[in-house]
Structure 1
Amino acid sequence: MTSHVCYHCGQANDPVHSYQATVLGEPRTLCCPGCQAVATAIVDNGLEDYYRFRTEPAVQGDADLSDVLKTMDVYDDPALQEEFVFEEGKHKQIQLTVEGITCAACGWLIEKQLARVDGIEKVAVNVQARRAMVTWHDDKLSLSHLLSALKRIGYTAIPFQPDQHEASYKKEQKSFLKKLGLAGLMTMQVMMLMAGLYFDLFGSIDEDTRRYFHWVALVLTTPVVLYSGSIFYLGALKALSARTVNMDVPVTLAIFGTYGAGLQATLTESGEVYFESICMFIFLLLLSRFLEHRSRHRAAEISANMTQHIPVSATLLLSDGQLDTCLAKKLNVGDRVLIKPGETVPIDGVISDGTSSVDESMLSGEFVPVRKQPGDKVFGGTVNQAGTLTVTVTSTLKHALVNQIIRLQAEAMASKPRIAQLADRFSRYFVCAVLLISAATFTFWWWQQNEDAFWITIAVLVATCPCALGLATPSALTCAMAKLNRQGILLKRADVLEQLNDIDTVALDKTGTLTVGEFAVSKQWFSDALPVEHILQLAATLESRSEHPIARAFSRHDLAAISEFSVTPGAGIKGNVNGETYFMGARHFCPHSVPHTGFDANVYLFTQQQVLAAFLVTDSLREDAAQTLQYLKSRALILLSGDAQSHVDTLASELPLQQAIGGLSPEQKYQHVQALQQRGQRVMMLGDGINDAPVLASADVSVAVGGATDVAKTAADIVLLGDKLLSLTSLFELASRARRKIIQNMAWAIGYNVLILPFAVSGVLSPWMAVVGMSLSSIIVVSNSTRLLR
């Protein structure tokens, strides 16, 4: 950077006014007060290393920075935050679209800057997507201050919206296609010229014509090197600035070495030129990077595009029976919406009137319509096929299942499994080995006075470039996650696929997991203390506040007013009805001696003084439960249930279970899984209820089945969006296929490099042959990974 150019953004400095800041111990000239303010903020926060690591100039700072910071106060408005801020327990979380990110150093700078801000709990920056996920303490830090902290170091952040992300991806793809198109066009032209020279297709070519062809080829190759290949040079500079190496380093050396030698040969009119090899090298390498770029975004695209299923408007049913059209995002909890046949459901809710068949394929991957009736849940984006439905809104559009999927998928793609980290480390060591071998090759052939020593070295650099090795793992994992997403299986962590292959024990909850969760009272007993109808009303009133599937068995009775309601997970519920406290739950929840009922009851209604009623509530087995467990029987299958042991034994007799334990509290389930893990077993846990949350969180891999409570979905690593347990077979099969693909990709990448190295070092391989071999190797790896999408 010269004194005529801004040290921060690279723009021309103001010839009249002078702005300066001391950066890295030296005075730097800046173009405007905005850049001066940003540079000073970076220095004051001890983040000067940003200027060492960056590979591109930053975006120009805002000259009216103080005015901009004031306008950010609007983001503290709770009504505005309601649309894009999520509650994460004691914290708040937001996804931001960050403008001004140009390279990985920007991501480093943002994470370091926000980590210094008091109140920030967690920051994860996705440089490629230009997004940041921030979790913070709302009582310590306001959202406007969070955004201001980014603005002070030169980045403008706004709440993330899927359509903006899509536009960002298309812009990046457009840049890729421009570079790829230029490289492809010029490659064809240069190869035509060089073919004419090599094979003398134009007859006897004199020296003047040969020199002319060389100059034309040089002119055509130069924009390919400087523009199309810039992505590799920036990557190499970034790695070297961070005192490491990556696969872009040997690529950059090979490109500039070949280009420099060709330029010298053209100027001095002596020596070999390989301009066609440079163009072909850049084109084929860009092509493999482009294919990898598309496959890496596939899972994110699938999730983000789900929002396109949500209609913009909804038909609101007013209290006076009139209909009104409103925006779907303006609907509030408790609003009633009318959905006609053929219309798309605009919001998540519960059917209050009407029956219909609903197509839920966009969520679950199952194309068979699901029959819906009053009390059933419907989700935004699904299609009402027959019958008019009245739906009571249960969550705003921000918290709709579709948006939860997109948010969880973003978190999953931000994580990096162990095998990918291992491949990255191996790639760095491999690159170092390639550089050392190349240097040794040049030294040896130069000592042997071989005039082709330089070109042999170039061939070694190109042929052994570990691009395919770097693509082996991420391309396979991304394609696998996209495939599962289409089948209604949502992964919240990318490394789950890797862990699934090591699972040797599967633990399952009973109610709502192995059974359908459609309960009915098969037997009942009542005391003489109250009329039967009154007892049934009390039971229905208490269960109306419960999320447990068993509550539906009591939903056919009138309700009374209730207050002071509370839940004891895995045990029961209590509430105050007409000034009296009533309890309802399992046998161990009841402190009284149980009266003789003539049957093995599993639900009791009681007060602090006596038992009022006892019920035997039964459930039916899922139709695909036996088939699913038959598939999983190569692993240890254990049933962990809070239900009575007699009921558990009855169910276990129908299934291939190694062990079935009943009467467990949530803590006992947790302790049982912990004991299995301490014995060295890898445990997958399947559950659906609030009481399953602790054990789901403790398992090596946890799965929330279709219809699970929000608490269970939060604790789980995998969410089955459909009602089919057989989805587990697809999950395990795809995890196994993904591992095989990764092994195949890595074996091919390493095997190719090992096999090609002797040919390159010995001088048998010319540079253009090395170009073709290396690029085809990368394309084969990406193509092999995309087979997972079939």
Structure 2
Amino acid sequence: MSENLCYHCALPNDATHKYEAVILGETRQLCCPGCQAVAQAIVDNGLEDYYQFRTEPAQKSDDGILESLSALNVYDDPALQEEFVFDEGQHKQIQLTLEGITCAACGWLIEKQLSKVSGIAQVAVNVQERRALITWEPDVIKLSQILTTLKRIGYVGSPFHPDEHEASYKREQKSFIKKLGLAGIMTMQVMMLMAGLYFDWFGAIEQETRQYFYWVALTLTTPVVLYSGSAFYLSALKAISAKTVNMDVPVTLAVFGTYFAGLRSTLLEQGEVYFESICMFIFLLLLSRFLEHRSRHRAAQISANMMQYIPVSAAKIEEDDSIVQILAKQLAPNDVVLVKPGETIPVDGIVLDGTAAVDESMLTGEFNPVSKSASHVVYGGTVNQDGTLTVKVTQSLKHALVNQIVRLQASAMASKPKAAQIADNFSRYFVFSVLLISALTYSYWSFVGSEDAFWITISVLVATCPCALGLATPSALTCAMAKLNRQGILLKRADALEQLNDIDTIALDKTGTLTEGKFSLQQRWFAKGVDPVQVMALTTLLESRSEHPIARAFDNDNVKSKHRTLPNTMNGFTVTPGGGISGEIDNVVFTMGSAVFCNLSTTSKVDIPANVFLCADGVLMAAFCVNDSLRQDALATLTALNEHQLVVLSGDTQKNVDALTASLPINLAKGGLSPEQKYSQVHTLQKQGRKVMMMGDGINDAPVLASADVAVAVGNATDVAKTAADVILLGDSLLSVPTLFSVAKQAKRKIQQNIAWSVGYNIIILPFAVSGLLSPWMAVVGMSLSSIIVVTNSTRLLSK
């Protein structure tokens, strides 16, 4: 770099002031105090390799960088963090938009720099999207210190907003198109020149004219090699510096080997040149990766673009019943908003008043409107088609369901299933094999005295490049996950899709899973001498604290209208998952739940088929028969899943479980189970060698969901169940489960097809390349078409 230009940002240096820093053992000239401060910070932290690996200059640093660092302290304000920082227990996590990233070396530099900082647990930089996911310990380091560290090495970090996703993709796409366009234009020009020479279309031209054409081809090829193919070389350098190899290593060797051989032949005016093969190779390789980039974006935007449905403003109802327009992100739990016909519901909430049909297709994939009325849950981003709703906010925009989906989907895409790990490892070994075979090929043909030994070796390097193999698994998994997301099925980890193909047993909870979870009081029994009105008031107060679906049977409008007089405040309320609830009212301990939970040795005097009991200090006061109705799609779903062993594990009585499952294709039905017994049942099945998928929706299902090979949270599951699950069904239809298995099979089939094609192609093409029957340009076409076929085959999942 010229001494007149800044070594850091390549802008002209200040002629009146001198700024210097010792970088890579030499004194470098810098343009301003900002660049000097950044460069010195990079040197002081032992990260000078950044200047060796970068492909483009950094952005000019802020002249007042040292003064501006203190301004970052504002990000430590808890109120400000509430909007974009997520609490992960002992750690906090944030997604940052990074400004100043120009190449992959920037991502490397940021990860190396931040990983050395005490208190930062994890750093993952996505260079393509200019984003970083950072997890840190708030007791050790502040967010402002993290941003300050970024600022000192020349990058500006700010909280990520979903709107940046599309802008980031467009920037990356613009870069791809520039490189691809340059390679395409130059390839056409070079192909015309070289094809004319190869096939003697120019007639008997003189050697001087032929040499002139070679120089023109060299001039056109050079920008393709140095600019369009730069990403491959950087990737290869990083792999070698990490003491490993990747598929870009043989690509780099083939490109520079062919380029320098052609350069030597042109300068010495003897030997073969394959400039058209270099251009075609880079162009087709870029094309395959561009198609992969588009397919990944097409898959990711299904979930990432959900945030575009959230409106910017909302109509908030104040305490004096006046309506004010505020930003949707300013809404807090317990705020009340008005949603008119045709408007989008701003955030998650519960309907207080009104009736409307709501379009939830953006969440569930089901286009039939869902009827909503008082006490129903609504989600931000769904559309009120008719009627006016008054909604009480239950979640801030940060914690809204669509935001959770975006985060979970990003986390799932980051996980790497076994198939992908095996493919990655195989690719590395395959690259080593390719390099070894290439070396042996060159040695053999050189030994027998062939003049084409070098070009045969280049053909081997190009033809057997395992790019298609590297794309085989991730491209199929990405498209499969996107298809499921479109159907209202959210995967929390990618390897769950792989494990679904091994499932042979499906265990289901009854309440809220096979049934609708809408309980009603069918019969009541009261002990002699008790006041039924007072008992129902007690049950209303007890169940008002419970999240279990049964509680709704005791908390409806009819019960409230008959039993308005509630006892005094309750103390010591506790919930026992799978058992019942208890609390102290007026110095009396009440328990309500199953007979086992209430320690009832006999219920013979109860003359109704009761399944819920109420006791006061251990004495039975009342019993209730609470029933639930079977889901309409339960029979169709279980029939579609009949190739699996179907097991029902329920906390309800065996009698009720048998009555419900009598008409269903269930292999085994067990009732009266506690959460621990459900866990034990699944563990027993697993010890028998079975692969178990568990479906549930309640708090009491969390332990067994966590123990299953694949866990599915059904419908409106509790947050605890969703946390323990691997798959979340956003819609209320059980028929999503057969779809889940169907897509898992399709994904497995696509992965097998992709791997079979890529490995089969390499096995078939290798003998032709080694034997010298394959020229470099033929190898280029074959390798690139192999990658394009794999990507195209994977994207077919999205259209099925």
TM-score class normalised by the smaller sequence: over 0.9
Q: Which residue matches 2:619?
A: 610
Q: Which residue matches 1:506?
A: 506
SS of 2:578's partner is: coil
Could you tell me which amino acid in structure 1 is paired with residue 504 of structure 2?
D
Q: Which residue matches 2:743?
A: 734
Q: Which residue matches 1:227?
A: 227
Distance 2:544 2:73 in 1: 42
Q: Which residue matches 1:569?
A: 577
Matched, 1:698 2:707: yes
Q: Which residue matches 2:483?
A: 483
Cα deviation for residue 123 of structure 1 reads 4.1
Residue 198 to residue 116, structure 1, CA distance change in 2 (3 Å):
closer
Superposed CA deviations along residues 333-391 of structure 1, whole A, max 9, x for unmatched, are 11222222222211111111122221111101111111222111111111112222111
Q: Which residue matches 2:397?
A: 397
Q: Which residue matches 2:597?
A: 589
Matched, 1:352 2:352: yes
Distance 2:112 2:772 in 1: 48
Cα deviation for residue 697 of structure 1 reads 1.8
Cα deviation for residue 93 of structure 1 reads 2.6
Q: Which residue matches 2:286?
A: 286
Superposed CA deviations along residues 244-272 of structure 1, whole A, max 9, x for unmatched, are 11111111111112222222232333322
Q: Which residue matches 1:456?
A: 456
Cα deviation for residue 444 of structure 1 reads 1.8
SS of 2:784's partner is: helix
Distance 2:222 2:769 in 1: 26
Could you tell me which amino acid in structure 1 is paired with residue 680 of structure 2?
Q
Moved more, 669-678 or 726-735: 669-678
Cα deviation for residue 274 of structure 1 reads 1.8
Distance 1:118 1:479 in 2: 38
Distance 1:266 1:234 in 2: 27
Cα deviation for residue 449 of structure 1 reads 2.2
Superposed CA deviations along residues 469-496 of structure 1, whole A, max 9, x for unmatched, are 1111111111111111111111111111
Matched, 1:652 2:652: no
Cα deviation for residue 428 of structure 1 reads 1.2
Could you tell me which amino acid in structure 1 is paired with residue 547 of structure 2?
E
Moved more, 6-15 or 590-599: 6-15
Moved more, 700-709 or 142-151: 142-151
Q: Which residue matches 1:540?
A: 540
Q: Which residue matches 1:179?
A: 179
Distance 2:646 2:691 in 1: 12
Distance 1:716 1:105 in 2: 37
Q: Is the 8 A contact 1:55 1:238 kept in 2?
A: no
Unpaired segments ≥5 residues, structure 2: none
**1:282-321 correspondence to structure 2 within 5 Å:** 282-321=282-321
For 1:619, which of 599, 620, 628 is the aligned residue?
Answer: 628
Cα deviation for residue 577 of structure 1 reads 5.2
Could you tell me which amino acid in structure 2 is paired with residue 667 of structure 1?
E
Distance 1:599 1:325 in 2: 54
Superposed CA deviations along residues 172-223 of structure 1, whole A, max 9, x for unmatched, are 1110011111111111222222232233334443334323322222222221
Q: Which residue matches 2:775?
A: 766
Q: Which residue matches 1:554?
A: 554
Could you tell me which amino acid in structure 2 is paired with residue 262 of structure 1?
G
Superposed CA deviations along residues 723-744 of structure 1, whole A, max 9, x for unmatched, are 1111111111111111111111
Q: Is the 8 A contact 1:5 1:29 kept in 2?
A: no
Distance 2:550 2:122 in 1: 38
Distance 1:737 1:547 in 2: 38
Superposed CA deviations along residues 599-618 of structure 1, whole A, max 9, x for unmatched, are 23222233335333221111
Distance 2:652 2:48 in 1: 61
Moved more, 185-194 or 409-418: 185-194
- Cα RMSD of the aligned pairs, angstroms, is 2.7
SS of 1:512's partner is: helix
Q: Is the 8 A contact 2:329 2:397 kept in 1?
A: yes
SS of 1:306's partner is: helix
Q: Is the 8 A contact 1:19 1:33 kept in 2?
A: no
Q: Which residue matches 1:80?
A: 80
Moved more, 177-186 or 448-457: 448-457
Q: Which residue matches 1:366?
A: 366
How many residues of Structure 1 are paired with residues of Structure 2 in the alignment? 788
Cα deviation for residue 410 of structure 1 reads 0.8
Cα deviation for residue 101 of structure 1 reads 4.6
Could you tell me which amino acid in structure 2 is paired with residue 436 of structure 1?
L
Could you tell me which amino acid in structure 2 is paired with residue 406 of structure 1?
V
TM-score (norm 2): 0.92
Q: Is the 8 A contact 2:250 2:465 kept in 1?
A: yes
SS of 1:524's partner is: strand
Q: Which residue matches 1:665?
A: 674
Q: Is the 8 A contact 2:507 2:694 kept in 1?
A: yes
Distance 1:730 1:687 in 2: 17
Residue 601 to residue 311, structure 1, CA distance change in 2 (3 Å):
same
Q: Which residue matches 1:779?
A: 788
**1:45-56 correspondence to structure 2 within 5 Å:** none
Q: Is the 8 A contact 2:53 2:234 kept in 1?
A: no
Could you tell me which amino acid in structure 2 is paired with residue 571 of structure 1?
G
Q: Which residue matches 2:130?
A: 130
SS of 2:621's partner is: strand
Identity %: 67
Distance 1:174 1:252 in 2: 23
Residue 124 to residue 597, structure 1, CA distance change in 2 (3 Å):
farther
Distance 1:42 1:213 in 2: 46
Distance 1:202 1:48 in 2: 52
Distance 2:594 2:138 in 1: 39
**1:129-528 correspondence to structure 2 within 5 Å:** 129-527=129-527
Residue 113 to residue 581, structure 1, CA distance change in 2 (3 Å):
farther
Could you tell me which amino acid in structure 2 is paired with residue 638 of structure 1?
V
Moved more, 664-673 or 692-701: 664-673
Moved more, 342-351 or 89-98: 89-98
Residue 429 to residue 593, structure 1, CA distance change in 2 (3 Å):
closer
Moved more, 122-131 or 159-168: 122-131
Cα deviation for residue 61 of structure 1 reads 5.7
SS of 1:98's partner is: strand
Cα deviation for residue 643 of structure 1 reads 1.3
Cα deviation for residue 281 of structure 1 reads 1.1
Q: Is the 8 A contact 1:55 1:237 kept in 2?
A: no
Cα deviation for residue 153 of structure 1 reads 4.6
Residue 70 to residue 307, structure 1, CA distance change in 2 (3 Å):
same
Residue 575 to residue 135, structure 1, CA distance change in 2 (3 Å):
farther
Residue 57 to residue 41, structure 1, CA distance change in 2 (3 Å):
same
Moved more, 597-606 or 164-173: 597-606
Could you tell me which amino acid in structure 1 is paired with residue 753 of structure 2?
Q
Distance 2:671 2:233 in 1: 62
Q: Is the 8 A contact 2:693 2:708 kept in 1?
A: yes
Distance 2:792 2:60 in 1: 40
SS of 2:83's partner is: coil
Cα deviation for residue 756 of structure 1 reads 0.8
Matched, 1:746 2:755: yes
Q: Is the 8 A contact 2:21 2:39 kept in 1?
A: no
Q: Which residue matches 2:638?
A: 629
Distance 2:98 2:250 in 1: 31
Distance 2:212 2:52 in 1: 43
Distance 1:49 1:280 in 2: 32
SS of 2:672's partner is: coil
Could you tell me which amino acid in structure 1 is paired with residue 737 of structure 2?
L
Could you tell me which amino acid in structure 1 is paired with residue 518 of structure 2?
E
SS of 1:255's partner is: helix
Distance 2:706 2:357 in 1: 35
SS of 1:722's partner is: coil
Distance 2:190 2:47 in 1: 46
Cα deviation for residue 505 of structure 1 reads 2.0
Q: Is the 8 A contact 2:525 2:608 kept in 1?
A: no
Cα deviation for residue 89 of structure 1 reads 3.9
Moved more, 648-657 or 705-714: 648-657
Q: Is the 8 A contact 2:583 2:589 kept in 1?
A: yes
Could you tell me which amino acid in structure 1 is paired with residue 762 of structure 2?
N
Cα deviation for residue 655 of structure 1 reads 2.1
Could you tell me which amino acid in structure 2 is paired with residue 753 of structure 1?
N
Q: Is the 8 A contact 2:19 2:36 kept in 1?
A: no
